[in-house]
């Protein structure tokens, strides 16, 4: 159970305060409602590149990191297909420094040419390090366009290709900033050893004067229901054959989501899970197999992926995955197994609440989904899932015509 | 009008409070350390064992004996162990390190009486079923094949081998080493390492008295007559300093550079940590500023002093575009040499000091982090004055002391240089 209070500034910035006086630290987390899904198909990877540029100095402050480090703080950020999230942790006594830095870059960046040139290089190296120079690293570059025909989840956050990043220009940067980085598109969470009244005063002081800007109205095409199976095979310099199987699933806000999330736990959480027990340990078809989902806000992906043991035919392995999915469709999970995944969900949540930063991020993300208090309602939603719900969702999800399968094979 | 150009006033960090571990022991003298803190009704219980009887002929025994601890006992199959642990929402982890092997249980307090007996079963009666051993061998080999395709993995292996040779710190596993594993050896090794006289228990979280009673009832009568020999690591670093593994198709080269160095037991260690931070220990470090933020050669570059119980080493690591690999080495050498010849400026040093204190304060987030801090001193024969001294060093060290230190510990010509990719 996370407690918080909220207020909204006149310019539209939502502020949530989560007091926790058991720590001497404070967190300032700011979520911008923009992700890779908001990019133009010819200029992909931009939301993430932009995240890098947010550290390249703002209009009144030449360096973002230095003044923060000087007061004992640390920061980082991440970009997903849905959001861009920035966070600072610092000794609570120095909280105002975080407000000063964070508000100035929301007001305006410095738009330095040098920063743009350097960060384009840095991001290209990141692209190579994580996606191109790794075994199986490019799999999502290949898979996403097979899964999504209309929706902009078609590309990963890093972008479709290096050239999109190389070609980024200052005019793009400025336009992106104007469109997405303003108070109306942001959610600010301040947590830790802070006082609500003081946070309000600091928020008014530093963020209050920032012009509201225009509200970005997202209008993305709905991904249509898939009507025919998609299958593709690629060959690459990898040591083991692999299978990736994707089913489109409802987004995180959908009422069906908890049941589907628990399906992935039944299949693959921990060493008692079905895929591990049956396909790795018993049948020994895979050396490694997993089921998970991305928790996307729009139509998401339910993924089953595995690396095959030597001498195992890829079709045999594929059929074995199907057999597990069919089992979920044909038979109700028993009480113990369902209780097990629910207990695990509950304890995972309890453990994650030990981290102040995790709590702040969750408050911001659930506020984006409509209301931060939804986070506190999650446990009951999961505990309310029945075996019949699980079966019903499995039947909806796991059909041949809605499957996208990629065989990623050793050359 | 709001002045946005001037930074707000800030305060230096004065007090950093450690929650000290309290010492207890079980009836059979197994030491139990307790860190009691936190709101959530949960605990982490770590059973920590020194690695023993390491033998280059059977180098993977300790790793395998640890990783396979959840694969079956006389009474419980691996599936049953996993089911029970998962049913109670607990987490059972095996952690293999170069110095110690551990079993870690995360559990809600209300379920401890169900989860802890499983740990007892595992620690006293693991049997390493033949079939599970074979699966382990196969799966680990598969994983290794994938890792061997990664340049940074190859660089790490080559580097460790160059500085620590054929010791547990230096050796790299090959596919054949896995094939050599067998049930009989594992059972023998299991008895040697998971031994009451080799065990330390560390409990952190919301710890009530019942937990100690429960631990004593389960583990207090654990006895063993088996003998074991703690590892001693004696190594001689290679003569060849430069190790290049060419990968014709590489888009990036993995670089790993460094040298054997001191560990936490040495009086210079805290000061060397400050020096390392300046060079490559944080986002604003000189290596990051030059090689990433000025030149854009890499996504990241960093350096660290690694403290092992019987040795220490210093390293710098990065993955860079192959076309800029050669210049990256030049720049690294330049940055090292600047620290040996020019005093660190006052502003930069003040910043690093504040950053380190803030980061220490922030790292003490919950009971688990306080327990981690305890392990850092306890297994290095230090007490909490280590941290008093560390904090004091950060606050008082000056630029000329750091320059002296750079000259004492860093000589680029003497560094081992491993490159995997293309130069």
Q: Tell me what ipTM this predicted complex has.
A: 0.92
Give B200-221 pLDDT, tens digit per residue: 999 999 999 899 999 999 999 9
Fold (CATH) for A230-410: Cytochrome Bc1 Complex; Chain A, domain 1 (3.30.830)
- List helix spans (H) across A207-255: none
Tally C-beta pairs within 8 A across A and B. 211
Sheet bearing B298-308, strands edge to edge: B242-246, B416-421, B252-261, B311-321, B298-308
Alpha carbons within 13 A on the beta-carbon side of B21:
25
Query: Given CB atoms, is A3 within the 8 Å cutoff of chain B?
Result: no
A119:B296 CB<8 A: yes
Query: Given CB atoms, is A334 within the 8 Å cutoff of chain B?
Result: no
**Residue A315 CA, distance from chain mean position:** 32
From the candidates A1, A48, A268, A281, which should be mutated to test the interface with B, based on the most B CB atoms within 10 A?
A: A281
The whole-number average pLDDT for the span B305-319 is 98
On chain A, the residues whose CB falls within 8 A of the CB of B247 are none
Give residue A50's pLDDT band: very low, low, confident or very high (50, 70, 90).
Answer: very high
Query: Given a cut of 90, is residue B320 above it in pLDDT?
Result: yes
> Mean of the per-residue pLDDT values for chain A?
96
Query: Given CB atoms, is A211 within the 8 Å cutoff of chain B?
Result: no
DSSP symbol at A41? T
Which tokens hold the place of A283? 């049948």
Q: Report domain A5-206's class.
A: alpha beta
CA distance B194 to B196: 7
Which tokens hold the place of A282? 């018993």
On chain A, the residues whose CB falls within 8 A of the CB of B350 are 70
On chain B, the residues whose CB falls within 8 A of the CB of A71 are 10, 354, 358
Tell me the backbone φ, ψ of residue A167, rounded to 5 degrees. Answer: -85, 0
CA distance B183 to A129: 39
On chain B, the residues whose CB falls within 8 A of the CB of A338 are none
**Are B107 and B141 contacting, i.e. CB atoms less than 8 angstroms apart?**
no
Query: Given CB atoms, is A53 within the 8 Å cutoff of chain B?
Result: no
B72 forms bridges with which residues in the sheet? B77
Give A198-225 pLDDT, tens digit per residue: 999 999 999 999 999 999 999 999 999 9
Separation in Å, CA of B226 to nearest CA in chain A = 31
Touching B: A residues 278-307, CB under 8 Å: 280-281, 284, 287-288, 307
**Are B185 and B192 contacting, i.e. CB atoms less than 8 angstroms apart?**
no
Query: Given a cut of 90, is residue B56 above it in pLDDT?
Result: yes
The helix (H) or strand (E) run that includes residue A235 is strand A230-236
Give A247-301 pLDDT, tens digit per residue: 999 999 999 999 999 999 999 999 999 999 999 999 999 999 999 999 999 999 9
> Mean of the per-residue pLDDT values for chain B?
96
Of B139, B365, B366, the CB nearest to A287: B139
CA distance B139 to B103: 21
Query: Given a cut of 90, is residue B42 above it in pLDDT?
Result: yes
The percentage of chain A sitting over the pLDDT mark of 70, rounded to a whole number, equals 100
> In terms of Cα–Cα distance, which of A223, A216, A227 is closest to A183?
A216
Query: Given a cut of 90, is residue B39 above it in pLDDT?
Result: no
- DSSP labels, B343-400: PPPHHHHHHHHHHHHHHHHHT--SHHHHHHHHHHHHTTT--THHHHHHHHHHHH--HH
* Positive or negative torsion for Cα A93, A97, A99, A100: positive
Query: Given CB atoms, is A238 within the 8 Å cutoff of chain B?
Result: yes
Of A22, A67, A280, the CB nearest to B7: A67
Which residues make up the CATH 3.30.830.10 domain(s) of chain A? 5-206, 230-410
A93:B10 CB<8 A: yes
Touching B: A residues 92-111, CB under 8 Å: 93-94, 96-97, 99-100, 103-104, 107
On chain A, the residues whose CB falls within 8 A of the CB of B83 are 272, 340
**Chain A residue at shortest CA distance from B351:** A70
> In terms of Cα–Cα distance, which of B351, B356, B340 is closest to B402?
B340
> In terms of Cα–Cα distance, which of A194, A195, A196, A198 is closest to A24?
A194
B296:A125 CB<8 A: yes
- List helix spans (H) across A108-138: 113-127
Number of residues that make up chain B: 423
Separation in Å, CA of A200 to nearest CA in chain B = 16
CA distance A14 to A190: 11
Q: For B22-219, which CATH superfamily applies?
A: Metalloenzyme, LuxS/M16 peptidase-like (3.30.830.10)
A336:B42 CB<8 A: no
**Are B218 and B116 contacting, i.e. CB atoms less than 8 angstroms apart?**
yes
**Chain A residue at shortest CA distance from B350:** A70
Which tokens hold the place of A371? 């209301």
Of B2, B83, B365, the CB nearest to A356: B365
Number of residues that make up chain A: 411
The whole-number average pLDDT for the span A82-93 is 98
**Chain A residue at shortest CA distance from B39:** A354
**Are A147 and A225 contacting, i.e. CB atoms less than 8 angstroms apart?**
no
Of B81, B106, B299, the CB nearest to A126: B299
B146:A270 CB<8 A: no
Touching B: A residues 345-364, CB under 8 Å: 345-348, 350-351, 353-356
**Chain B residue at shortest CA distance from A345:** B89
Of B143, B293, B362, the CB nearest to A89: B362
Query: Given a cut of 90, is residue A1 above it in pLDDT?
Result: no
A74:B358 CB<8 A: yes
Tell me the backbone φ, ψ of residue B163, rounded to 5 degrees. Answer: -90, -30
User: Helix or strand or coil: residue B125?
Assistant: helix
A343:B89 CB<8 A: yes
Of A129, A272, A356, the CB nearest to B319: A129
Instruction: Assign domain B242-421 to its CATH architecture.
Output: 2-Layer Sandwich (3.30)
Query: Given CB atoms, is A383 within the 8 Å cutoff of chain B?
Result: no
A233 forms bridges with which residues in the sheet? A407
What pLDDT shows up at residue B101? Answer: 98
Of A22, A104, A134, the CB nearest to B39: A22
On chain B, the residues whose CB falls within 8 A of the CB of A201 are none
Of B5, B297, B365, the CB nearest to A60: B5
CA distance B107 to B113: 10
A97:B7 CB<8 A: yes
Query: Given a cut of 90, is residue A111 above it in pLDDT?
Result: yes
- Cβ-based neighbour number of residue A355 at 10 Å: 15
**Chain A residue at shortest CA distance from B250:** A133
The whole-number average pLDDT for the span B32-43 is 93
**Are A232 and A405 contacting, i.e. CB atoms less than 8 angstroms apart?**
yes
Q: What distances in angstroms separate CA B412 from CA A277, B50, B238, B409, one per listed residue?
A: 51, 34, 16, 10
On chain A, the residues whose CB falls within 8 A of the CB of B146 are 135-136, 238-240, 307
Q: What distances in angstroms separate CA A40 from CA A51, A159, A264, B89, one per listed residue?
A: 16, 11, 32, 43
Query: Given a cut of 90, is residue A359 above it in pLDDT?
Result: yes
Give residue A353's pLDDT band: very low, low, confident or very high (50, 70, 90).
Answer: confident
Domain extents in chain B: 22-219, 242-421
CA distance A298 to A125: 29
Which tokens hold the place of B397? 């060290």
On chain A, the residues whose CB falls within 8 A of the CB of B2 are 205-206, 209
Specify burial of residue A284 (Cβ count, 10 A radius: 0-12, 13-18, 19+): middle
Residues 6+ positions from A4 with CB-CB distance below 8 Å: A16, A17, A18, A189, A363, A372
**Are A288 and B139 contacting, i.e. CB atoms less than 8 angstroms apart?**
yes
CA distance A79 to A69: 22
- DSSP labels, A313-365: -HHHHHHHHHHHHHHHHHSPPPHHHHHHHHHHHHHHHHHHTT-HHHHHHHHHH
From the candidates A25, A60, A69, which should be mutated to test the interface with B, based on the most B CB atoms within 10 A?
A: A69
Q: What distances in angstroms separate CA B162 from CA B63, B67, B173, B313, one per listed residue?
A: 21, 26, 14, 12
CA distance B246 to A199: 55
CA distance B138 to B133: 9
What pLDDT shows up at residue B1? Answer: 83
Residues 6+ positions from A71 with CB-CB distance below 8 Å: A90, A91, A94, A97, B10, B354, B358
On chain A, the residues whose CB falls within 8 A of the CB of B292 are 118, 122
Of A121, A237, A346, the CB nearest to B89: A346
């Amino acid at each position: 159970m996370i407690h918080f209070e909220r207020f909204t500034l006149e310019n539209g910035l939502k502020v949530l305060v989560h007091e926790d006086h058991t720590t001497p630290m404070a967190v300032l987390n700011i979520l911008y409602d923009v992700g890779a899904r908001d990019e133009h198909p010819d200029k992909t990877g931009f939301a993430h590149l932009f995240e890098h540029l947010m550290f390249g100095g703002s209009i009144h402050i030449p360096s973002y990191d230095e003044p923060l480090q000087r007061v004992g703080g640390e920061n980082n950020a991440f970009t997903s297909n849905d959001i861009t999230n920035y966070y600072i942790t610092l000794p609570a006594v120095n909280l105002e420094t975080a407000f000063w830095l964070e508000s100035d870059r929301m007001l305006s960046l410095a738009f330095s040419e040098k920063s743009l040139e350097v960060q384009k290089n840095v991001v290209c190296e990141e692209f190579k390090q994580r996606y191109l120079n790794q075994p199986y690293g490019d799999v999502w570059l290949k898979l996403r366009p097979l899964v999504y025909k209309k929706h902009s989840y078609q590309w990963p956050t890093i972008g479709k290709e290096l050239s999109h990043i190389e070609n980024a220009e200052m005019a793009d940067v400025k336009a992106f900033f104007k469109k997405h980085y303003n108070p109306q598109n942001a959610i600010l969470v301040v947590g830790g050893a802070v006082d609500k009244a003081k946070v309000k005063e600091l928020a008014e002081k530093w963020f209050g004067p920032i012009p509201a800007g225009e509200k970005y109205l997202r209008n993305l095409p709905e991904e249509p229901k898939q009507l025919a199976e998609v299958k593709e095979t690629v060959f690459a310099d990898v040591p083991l054959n692999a299978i990736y199987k994707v089913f489109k699933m409802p987004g995180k806000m959908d009422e069906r989501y908890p049941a589907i999330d628990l399906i992935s736990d039944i299949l693959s959480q921990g060493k008692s899970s079905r895929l591990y027990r049956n396909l790795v340990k018993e049948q020994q078809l895979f050396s490694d197999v997993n089921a998970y989902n991305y928790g996307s806000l729009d139509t998401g992906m339910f993924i089953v992926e595995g690396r095959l043991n030597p001498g195992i035919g890829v079709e045999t392995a594929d059929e074995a995955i199907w057999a597990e999915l069919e089992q979920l469709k044909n038979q109700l999970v028993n009480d113990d197994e369902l209780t097990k995944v629910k207990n695990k969900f509950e304890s995972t949540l309890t453990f994650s609440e030990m981290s102040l930063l995790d709590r702040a991020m969750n408050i911001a993300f659930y506020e984006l989904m409509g209301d931060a208090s939804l986070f506190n309602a999650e446990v009951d939603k999961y505990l309310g899932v029945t075996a019949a719900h699980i079966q019903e969702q499995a039947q909806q999800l796991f059909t041949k015509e809605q499957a996208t399968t990629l065989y990623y094979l050793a050359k | 009008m709001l002045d946005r150009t001037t930074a707000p006033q800030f305060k230096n960090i004065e007090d950093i409070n450690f929650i000290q571990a309290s010492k207890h022991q079980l009836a059979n003298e197994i030491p139990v350390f307790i860190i009691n803190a936190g709101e959530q009704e949960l605990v982490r219980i770590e059973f920590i064992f020194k690695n023993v009887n390491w033998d280059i002929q059977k180098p993977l025994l300790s790793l395998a004996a640890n990783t396979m601890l959840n694969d079956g006992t006389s009474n419980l199959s691996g599936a049953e162990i996993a089911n029970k642990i998962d049913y109670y929402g607990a987490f059972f982890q095996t952690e293999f390190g170069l110095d110690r092997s551990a079993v870690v249980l995360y559990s809600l307090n209300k379920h401890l009486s169900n989860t802890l007996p499983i740990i007892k079963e595992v620690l006293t009666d693991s049997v390493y079923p033949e079939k599970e051993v074979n699966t382990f061998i196969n799966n680990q080999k598969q994983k290794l094949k994938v890792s061997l395709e990664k340049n940074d993995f190859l660089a790490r292996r080559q580097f460790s081998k160059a500085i620590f040779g054929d010791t547990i710190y230096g050796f790299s596993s090959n596919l054949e080493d896995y094939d050599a594993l067998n049930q009989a050896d594992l059972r023998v090794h299991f008895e040697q390492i998971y031994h009451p006289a080799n065990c330390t228990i560390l409990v952190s979280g919301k710890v009530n008295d019942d937990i100690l009673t429960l631990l004593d009832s389960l583990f207090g009568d654990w006895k063993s007559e088996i003998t074991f020999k703690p590892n001693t690591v004696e190594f001689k670093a290679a003569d060849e300093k430069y190790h290049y593994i060419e990968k014709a198709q590489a888009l990036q080269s993995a670089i790993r550079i460094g040298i054997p160095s001191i560990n936490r037991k040495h009086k210079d260690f805290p000061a060397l940590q400050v020096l390392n931070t300046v060079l490559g220990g944080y986002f604003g470090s000189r290596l990051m500023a030059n090689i990433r933020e000025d030149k854009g050669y890499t996504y990241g570059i960093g350096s660290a002093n690694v403290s092992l119980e019987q040795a220490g080493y210093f390293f710098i690591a990065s993955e860079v575009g192959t076309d800029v690999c050669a210049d990256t080495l030049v720049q690294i050498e330049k940055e090292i040499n600047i620290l040996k010849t020019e005093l660190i400026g006052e502003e930069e040093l003040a910043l690093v000091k504040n950053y380190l204190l803030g980061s220490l304060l922030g790292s003490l987030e919950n009971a688990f982090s306080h327990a981690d801090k305890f392990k850092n001193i306890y297994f290095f024969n230090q007490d909490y004055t280590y941290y008093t001294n560390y904090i004091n060093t950060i606050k008082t060290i000056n630029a000329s002391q750091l320059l002296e230190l750079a000259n004492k510990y860093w000589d680029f010509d003497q560094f081992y240089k491993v490159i995997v990719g293309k130069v």
